[in-house]
């Protein structure tokens, strides 16, 4: 086995060492931390776990990215993970939750980040989602990431720069990951807020051009964001209230995360209500526009009806009809038609139909 060194967990050849029969790209990093300081590791994660257990207060942080079933089988054996939790890790798409299997806690989070776009269209991707799962034991923490919505390298760098926090053990890592996930929620909520403002402005502008497809697309993206944010409230509440393994000092940090999450939940609710109101307003505008179009059609039809009625009467070709043989009959009928049409036009114009 190769030597795991450096923040990225790469060897001198630039490749992450893999276990026999396992994918090399699944193991992102493996490190031992003692009193908040990263220690050198020789060997694979099994050797790292054995080394950590020989030192009081040390723990292992193993980072994974979309591991396969075969790789998780080896890791589950080494860290004594429950088979149900391992199955959830392999099959991404789980609902946010917090479960306990013996001395190991299993925390599932859905992640979301805002996708920058120049213009919101009916095909724009506004929110990208993924998943992060944590196994938190007494002397190890295993982070599993699915998707690119939440990379954990910044979390590791941030925690390693704060050894006084990291020395509190695996639950400090859980806080760091959870805090990063919620911070991405906050950024996504701010981005969605700007999109909602633009949609609202376009719908209520004087020359309204707000397309219903754009509003519906943003609504769909908001639903995906809600699936990540709202269910996370319950696990965070359990972490604060029903997890004695978390120290009193560290519990303060988790409460701060809960406050940020509550803010995002309130924003999501307001976005949902506002988008529904905007959709209803746009539908009302479409209905009014259709009614205006129908009134204009009916107004011009009424003007044309004068010409149709007079032309229809004189087109019956009876011999004895008023002014039929008068040499000024034709111009007189045209004059009457134009006069009636002008009068009706003025009347409809004054009433707002034209």
Name all domains of the chain by residue range, CATH numbers in brackets. Answer: 3-285 (3.30.460.20), 287-351 (1.20.58)
* Chain position carrying tokens 């087109």: 315
CA nearest neighbour of 297 among 337, 246, 348: 348
Which two three-digit tokens encode residue 26? 């699944």
CA distance 85 to 232: 18
Which two three-digit tokens encode residue 94? 């789980």
CB 66, CB 26: distance < 8 Å: yes
Other beta carbons within 10 angstroms of residue 97's beta carbon come to: 16
CB 131, CB 94: distance < 8 Å: yes
CB 83, CB 116: distance < 8 Å: no
CB 125, CB 217: distance < 8 Å: no
Helix and strand tally (H, E) in the chain?
10, 9
pLDDT of residue 206: 63
Which two three-digit tokens encode residue 293? 């179009």
CA nearest neighbour of 66 among 26, 7, 102: 26
**Which DSSP helix (H) or strand (E) runs through 250?**
helix 248-314
CA distance 135 to 106: 5
Which two three-digit tokens encode residue 349? 């114009």
CA distance 65 to 25: 7
Query: How many angstroms from the chain centroid is the CA of residue 104?
Result: 30
CA distance 73 to 187: 36
Positions in the chain short of pLDDT 70: 1-25, 205-210, 318-321, 323-325
Other beta carbons within 10 angstroms of residue 111's beta carbon come to: 27
Q: How far apart are the first and last CA of the chain?
A: 84
Which DSSP letter does residue 106 get?
E
Which two three-digit tokens encode residue 227? 């699936």
Give the β-pairing of 104-114 and 97-101: antiparallel
CA nearest neighbour of 201 among 112, 118, 281: 281
pLDDT of residue 201: 83
pTM: 0.76
Other beta carbons within 10 angstroms of residue 158's beta carbon come to: 14
């Amino acid at each position: 086995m190769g030597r795991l060194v450096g923040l990225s967990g790469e060897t001198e050849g630039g490749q992450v060492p893999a276990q026999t029969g396992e994918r090399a790209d699944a193991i992102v990093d493996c490190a031992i931390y003692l009193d908040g300081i990263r220690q050198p590791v020789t060997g694979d994660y099994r050797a790292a776990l054995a080394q950590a257990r020989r030192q009081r207060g040390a723990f292992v942080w193993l980072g994974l990215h979309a591991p396969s079933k075969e790789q998780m089988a080896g890791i589950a054996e080494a860290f004594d993970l429950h088979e149900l939790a391992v199955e959830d890790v392999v099959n991404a798409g789980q609902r946010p939750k917090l479960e306990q299997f013996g001395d190991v806690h299993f925390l599932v989070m859905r992640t979301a980040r805002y996708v920058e776009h120049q213009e919101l269209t009916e095909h724009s991707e506004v929110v990208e989602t993924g998943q992060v799962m944590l196994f938190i034991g007494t002397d190890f923490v295993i982070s599993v990431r699915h998707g690119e919505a939440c990379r954990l390298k910044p979390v590791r760098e941030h925690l390693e720069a704060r050894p006084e926090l990291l020395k509190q053990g695996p639950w400090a890592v859980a806080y760091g990951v959870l805090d990063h996930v919620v911070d991405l929620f906050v950024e996504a909520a701010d981005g969605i807020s700007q999109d909602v403002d633009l949609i609202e402005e376009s719908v209520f502008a004087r020359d309204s051009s707000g397309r219903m497809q754009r509003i519906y697309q943003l609504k769909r993206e908001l639903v995906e964001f809600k699936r990540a944010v709202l269910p996370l409230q319950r696990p965070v509440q359990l972490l604060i209230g029903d997890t004695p393994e978390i120290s009193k000092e560290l519990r303060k940090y988790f409460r701060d995360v809960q406050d940020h999450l509550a803010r995002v939940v309130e924003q999501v609710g307001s976005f949902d209500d506002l988008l529904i109101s905007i959709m209803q307003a746009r539908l009302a505008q479409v209905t009014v526009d259709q009614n205006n179009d129908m009134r204009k059609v009916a107004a011009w039809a009424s003007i044309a009806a004068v010409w149709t009625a007079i032309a229809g009467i004189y087109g019956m070709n009876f011999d004895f009809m008023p002014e039929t043989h008068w040499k000024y009959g034709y111009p007189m009928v045209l004059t009457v038609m134009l006069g009636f049409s002008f009068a009706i036009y003025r009347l409809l114009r004054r009433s707002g139909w034209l």
